């Protein structure tokens, strides 16, 4: 029978709000553990009792920064509420595993990623189990002490009411939930209770046939036998240790062992009394939880937590040892994931993990998965300088063999950043950041390679990082401005428009060119608001020029669009909006798109450009000739202008100009004209170049020969000069 989830209590909570979900979690939890508790509460009272604990777990799940430690208090609270049965713990962990994220994963303010919440959940379980175990142990010890006391009383009160205390002791001995045994000081076992016999596998003679000092186990802590000898010599009254034993079937029993010395009425040592609590299951559970909290569920590799532990240990060594770290990121993994699906992506990661594992098998080496397609390999020891290079080579080597996935052969490549150095100089976080930066350097150098960290490159990357984080505020603070560079008719030298080129007036670094920050803005997505601002500002400027200069024919404004802007769903709507608000006609706007952004573009990507072109906006193919696009492809694109890249003009610098270059430009111009495309050339720096390009049939030009990019009023004066 299933009991419907109750939402008793505050009637004003919205149905299915966070509070409601929390209550439901508490209901499920109480249903799972109530049967195994020894509480005197009713079920409803018990559920009410669990509610604040559930709230505590939810809060821990969402805490920033995350800290699982307070979950141990929940474990303590369970023991305090008489939930001491081992089943209670495993059911509680099961409920957390299945329901905590489901019901408390998003608390209105924050929603966690699946991976993040899974990792948090595992650590919460770990902390809770720790608190539970500790509290239970303390409680058991208290119980053990009571038993030991009554045993002592039983022995020493022999003269008074001997029989009564004996009987009382017998009763405790027989019914105790923990194992009790009595031995003489030579280690001969005299008596054991049923619980102890059961713990050792059920055969009393197995337990009794051994002397105490024969119960040796390889995992015994060094103190165990020292304490034992002290006790039987009468130098110690009791001791407490965690100790493993072999059961009669050879399996291992883990116990919390308390041994007390019993003296006779004259105070001479006589017997030893051992109390054993079976902790085997709890220990296994703890090991499992520790394993889950420190390993990646998909690949079984150590995870970020364990890796950091090891790295910190390696870095804190003070014996002159060194460390070497390879930070690996797969090249193009996202594309594989997107095209073949996540299940295939996962299989690929598992395969990669297996291969990586085979690269780092020597002592002191480890491989871990940090998340996504990022892995690390660590090597430690005296000679990591050569070892780490070899490790990186091995990694690239094992990745080299294609992976078979769904009947295809996939080639997996990776970029590796290497950091190597002596222990004791840097923190784990610093080392990892340097490795990350270096990995990106390997990636931008084309991938499938490794690079070594160096301080200068790190510093550059950190500046880049600084610029990236400063970008959003810079836009708000108005630190960007636009320079305009005239576009000139090659035929008559008149100014026919201008290209808007954005700059950043950085408070510390001065004026930065677009090459320094456009790629960063592109990477972070800030290019969308920044690009919108450039468009608005330059269209407004163009309209202003036109009003001031009504007799000079149409004046055009060219604005650059980056690939991310092309993909933005509001591109068309926003452009139309900007044009309408400024009053500029669409035919006066030309959007420049780089050739490389359109290589391989499908109809979906071209659609917005096509719509804009249909409205009369010109589309120019910028930096043409650098992207190796298929010339035949030009016909498919909604472009009306080709902007020949500066590299062509550079080829004409020599005297005489390279005849092959001239032929190429001539060919492109005639092809463009046959497709009804106008040709603009960039980077014209001399009069000779301008003349040559005019002869080759180019339509417009742009370059330092005419004017460098400058403030808007400079264009205005150029226009006026033309008009005169
Ligand atoms: P681009 O669109 O190809 O712009 C032409 C670049 O060539 C400009 O560099 C310009 O200053 C430079 N240039 C012009 N004439 C000459 C010349 O005679 N000789 C030489 N050596 N260089 C010349 P800039 O301003 O550094 O812009 C670089 C690139 O940044 C632009 O290349 C464009 O792709 C991008 N960019 C500029 N502004 C924006 C913008 O608002 N949005 C986007 N998405 N990209 C922009
Ligand atoms: Mg451009
Ligand atoms: Mg260009």
pLDDT at residue 171, as a whole number: 67
623 C-alpha to center of ligand 1: Å? Answer: 10
Q: Is residue 188 part of a domain?
A: yes
Residues 184, 316, single domain; the answer is no
CATH number reported for the structural domain that contains residue 306 in this entry = 3.30.70.270
Rounded-to-integer distance, Cα 434 and Cα 456, Å: 11
User: Which burial class, exposed, middle or buried, applies to 222 when counting CB atoms under 10 A from its CB (0-12, 13-18, 19+)?
Assistant: exposed
Ligand nearest to the Cα of 558, by number: 2
Regarding the beta carbon of 537 and ligand 1, being less than 6 Å apart is answered no
> Could you tell me what percentage of the chain is helix, strand and coil, using 3-state DSSP and rounding each to the nearest 5?
50, 20, 25
Beta strands in 495-614 (DSSP E): 495-506, 510-512, 556-561, 589-594
Rounded-to-integer distance, Cα 587 and Cα 520, Å: 31
Beta strands in 63-158 (DSSP E): none
User: If DSSP codes are grouped into helix, strand and coil, which group holds residue 47?
Assistant: helix
Residues 508, 626, single domain; the answer is yes
* Contact call for residues 694 and 494 (beta carbons, < 8 A): no
Q: Is residue 155 part of a domain?
A: no
Identify which of 488, 535, 682, 706 to mutate to test ligand 1's pocket (most ligand atoms within 8 A of the CB).
682
Q: Is the pLDDT of residue 411 over 70?
A: yes
- Window from 99-108, 406-415, 417-426, 701-710 with minimum mean pLDDT: 99-108
The residue among 144, 167, 197 that closes a domain is 144
365, β-bridge pairs: 379
Regarding the beta carbon of 514 and ligand 1, being less than 6 Å apart is answered yes
For 20-34, give the secondary structure using H, E and C: HHHHHHHHHHHHHHH
Q: What is the pLDDT of residues 135-166, one digit of tens each?
A: 888 887 777 777 777 666 655 554 454 455 56
Regarding the beta carbon of 649 and ligand 1, being less than 6 Å apart is answered no
Residues 346, 398, single domain; the answer is yes
Q: What is the pLDDT of residues 211-252, one digit of tens each?
A: 998 999 999 998 999 999 999 999 999 999 999 999 988 899
Dihedral pair phi/psi, residue 390, rounded to 5°: -65, -40
Regarding the beta carbon of 683 and ligand 1, being less than 6 Å apart is answered yes
Q: What is the pLDDT of residues 550-575, one digit of tens each?
A: 665 568 999 999 999 998 999 999 99
Q: Is residue 712 part of a domain?
A: yes
Rounded-to-integer distance, Cα 134 and Cα 76, Å: 8
Q: Answer whether the bond into residue 65 is a cis peptide, omega within 30°.
A: yes
Q: Is residue 158 part of a domain?
A: no
- Window from 283-297, 529-543, 675-689 with minimum mean pLDDT: 283-297
pLDDT at residue 225, as a whole number: 95
Q: Is residue 61 part of a domain?
A: yes
Q: Is the pLDDT of residue 12 over 50?
A: no
Contacting residues for 429 by C-beta, under 8 A, at least 6 apart: none
For the segment 78-87, the average pLDDT, to the nearest whole number, is 84
pLDDT at residue 57, as a whole number: 94
Regarding the beta carbon of 622 and ligand 1, being less than 6 Å apart is answered yes
Residues 343, 304, single domain; the answer is yes
Ligand nearest to the Cα of 592, by number: 2
Residues 21, 124, single domain; the answer is yes
pLDDT at residue 552, as a whole number: 56
Regarding the beta carbon of 709 and ligand 1, being less than 6 Å apart is answered yes
Regarding the beta carbon of 685 and ligand 1, being less than 6 Å apart is answered yes
Highest mean pLDDT among 88-97, 99-108, 154-163: 88-97
The residue among 103, 127, 144 that closes a domain is 144
650 C-alpha to center of ligand 2: Å? Answer: 17
Determine which residue's CA is closest to atom 42 belonging to ligand 1.
Answer: 560
**CA-to-CA dists, residue 243 to 94, 229, 246, 249, 486, angstroms:** 28, 16, 10, 18, 86
Ligand nearest to the Cα of 595, by number: 3
pLDDT at residue 113, as a whole number: 76
706 C-alpha to center of ligand 2: Å? Answer: 16
Residues 547, 677, single domain; the answer is yes
Q: Is residue 350 part of a domain?
A: yes
Q: What is the mean pLDDT of the chain?
A: 86
Rounded-to-integer distance, Cα 191 and Cα 179, Å: 11
**CA-to-CA dists, residue 156 to 169, 191, 268, 437, angstroms:** 12, 18, 11, 73
Residues 496, 626, single domain; the answer is yes
Residues 272, 299, single domain; the answer is no
- Nearest C-alpha neighbor of 103 from the set 55, 47, 49, 68: 55
Residues 689, 555, single domain; the answer is yes
* Contact call for residues 305 and 294 (beta carbons, < 8 A): yes
Q: Is the pLDDT of residue 56 over 80?
A: yes
Q: Is the pLDDT of residue 36 over 90?
A: no
> In which band, very low, low, confident or very high, does the pLDDT at 543 lie, cut at 50, 70 and 90?
very high
Owning domain of residue 60: 5-144
Residues 10, 98, single domain; the answer is yes
pLDDT at residue 108, as a whole number: 59
543 C-alpha to center of ligand 3: Å? Answer: 23
Specify the ligand 1 atom closest to the Cα of 561.
44
Rounded-to-integer distance, Cα 71 and Cα 63, Å: 12
Residues 471, 572, single domain; the answer is yes
As for how many domains the chain has, the answer is 4
Rounded-to-integer distance, Cα 538 and Cα 525, Å: 21
For the segment 617-621, the average pLDDT, to the nearest whole number, is 95
The residue among 425, 453, 481 that closes a domain is 453
> In which band, very low, low, confident or very high, does the pLDDT at 661 lie, cut at 50, 70 and 90?
confident
Residues 422, 507, single domain; the answer is no
Determine which residue's CA is closest to atom 4 belonging to ligand 1.
Answer: 501
Specify the ligand 1 atom closest to the Cα of 522.
44
**CA-to-CA dists, residue 153 to 23, 145, 162, 165, 232, angstroms:** 50, 12, 10, 8, 20
CATH number reported for the structural domain that contains residue 710 in this entry = 3.20.20.450
Determine which residue's CA is closest to atom 5 belonging to ligand 1.
Answer: 682
Q: Is residue 458 part of a domain?
A: no
* Contact call for residues 192 and 205 (beta carbons, < 8 A): no
Contacting residues for 404 by C-beta, under 8 A, at least 6 apart: 410
Q: Is residue 166 part of a domain?
A: no
Ligand nearest to the Cα of 645, by number: 3
């Amino acid at each position: 029978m299933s009991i419907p989830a109750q939402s008793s209590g505050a009637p004003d909570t919205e149905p299915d709000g966070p509070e409601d979900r929390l209550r439901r979690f508490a209901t499920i939890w109480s249903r799972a553990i109530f049967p195994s508790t020894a509480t005197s509460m009713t079920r409803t009272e018990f559920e009410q009792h669990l509610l604040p604990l559930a709230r505590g777990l939810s809060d821990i799940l969402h805490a920033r920064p995350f800290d699982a430690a307070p979950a141990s208090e929940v474990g303590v609270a369970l023991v305090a509420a008489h939930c001491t049965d081992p089943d209670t713990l495993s059911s509680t962990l099961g409920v957390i595993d299945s329901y905590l994220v489901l019901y408390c994963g998003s608390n209105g303010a924050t929603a966690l990623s699946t991976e993040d919440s899974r990792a948090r959940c595992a650590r919460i379980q770990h902390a809770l189990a720790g608190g539970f175990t500790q509290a239970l142990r303390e409680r058991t010890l208290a119980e053990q002490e009571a038993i030991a006391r009554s045993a002592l009383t039983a022995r020493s009160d022999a003269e008074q009411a001997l029989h009564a205390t004996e009987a009382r002791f017998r009763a405790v001995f027989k019914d105790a939930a923990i194992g009790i045994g009595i031995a003489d000081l030579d280690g001969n076992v005299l008596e054991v209770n049923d619980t102890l016999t059961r713990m050792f596998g059920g055969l009393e003679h197995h337990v009794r046939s051994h002397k105490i000092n024969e119960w040796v186990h390889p995992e015994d802590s060094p103190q165990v036998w020292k304490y034992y000898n002290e006790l039987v010599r009468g130098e110690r009254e009791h001791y407490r240790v965690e100790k493993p034993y072999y059961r009669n079937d050879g399996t291992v029993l883990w116990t919390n062992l308390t041994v007390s010395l019993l003296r006779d009425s004259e105070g001479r040592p006589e017997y030893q009394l051992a109390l054993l609590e079976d902790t085997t299951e709890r220990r296994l559970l703890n090991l499992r939880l520790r394993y889950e909290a420190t390993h990646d569920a998909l690949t079984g590799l150590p995870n970020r937590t364990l890796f950091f532990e090891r790295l910190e240990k390696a870095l804190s060594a003070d014996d002159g040892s060194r460390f070497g770290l390879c930070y690996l990121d797969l090249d193009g993994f996202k594309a594989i994931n997107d095209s073949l699906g996540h299940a295939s992506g996962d299989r690929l990661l598992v395969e990669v993990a297996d291969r990586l594992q085979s690269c780092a098998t020597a002592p002191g080496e480890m491989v871990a998965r940090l998340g996504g397609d990022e892995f690390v390999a660590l090597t430690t020891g005296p000679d990591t300088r050569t070892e780490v290079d070899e490790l990186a080579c091995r990694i690239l080597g094992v990745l080299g063999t294609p992976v078979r996935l769904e009947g295809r052969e996939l080639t997996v490549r990776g970029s590796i950043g290497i950091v190597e150095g002596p222990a004791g100089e840097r923190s784990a976080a610093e080392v990892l950041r340097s490795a990350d930066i270096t990995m990106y350097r390997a990636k931008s150098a084309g991938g499938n390679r490794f690079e070594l960290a160096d301080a200068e490159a790190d510093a550059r990357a950190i500046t880049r990082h600084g610029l990236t984080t400063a970008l959003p505020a810079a836009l708000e603070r108005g630190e960007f401005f636009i320079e305009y560079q005239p576009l000139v008719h090659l035929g008559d030298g008149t100014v026919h428009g201008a290209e808007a080129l954005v700059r950043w007036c950085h408070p510390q670094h001065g004026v930065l060119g677009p090459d320094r920050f456009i790629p960063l803005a592109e990477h972070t997505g800030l290019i969308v608001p920044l690009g919108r601002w450039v468009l608005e500002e330059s269209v407004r400027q163009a309209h202003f020029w036109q009003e001031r200069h009504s007799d000079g024919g149409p004046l055009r404004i060219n604005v650059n669009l980056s690939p991310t802007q092309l993909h933005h769903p509001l591109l068309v709507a926003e452009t139309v909006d900007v044009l309408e608000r400024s009053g500029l006609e669409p035919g006066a706007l030309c959007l420049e798109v780089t050739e490389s952004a359109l290589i391989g573009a499908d109809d979906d990507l071209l659609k917005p450009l096509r719509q804009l072109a249909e409205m009369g906006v010109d589309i120019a193919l910028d930096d043409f000739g650098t992207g190796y696009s298929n010339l035949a492809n030009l016909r498919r694109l909604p472009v009306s202008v080709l902007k020949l890249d500066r590299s062509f003009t550079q080829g004409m610098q020599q005297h005489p100009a390279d005849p092959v270059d001239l032929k190429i430009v001539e060919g492109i111009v005639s092809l463009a004209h046959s497709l009804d495309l106008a040709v603009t050339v960039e980077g014209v720096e001399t009069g000779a170049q301008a003349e040559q390009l005019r002869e080759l049939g180019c339509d417009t030009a742009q370059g330092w020969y005419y004017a460098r990019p400058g403030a808007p009023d400079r264009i205005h004066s150029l226009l006026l000069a033309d008009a005169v």
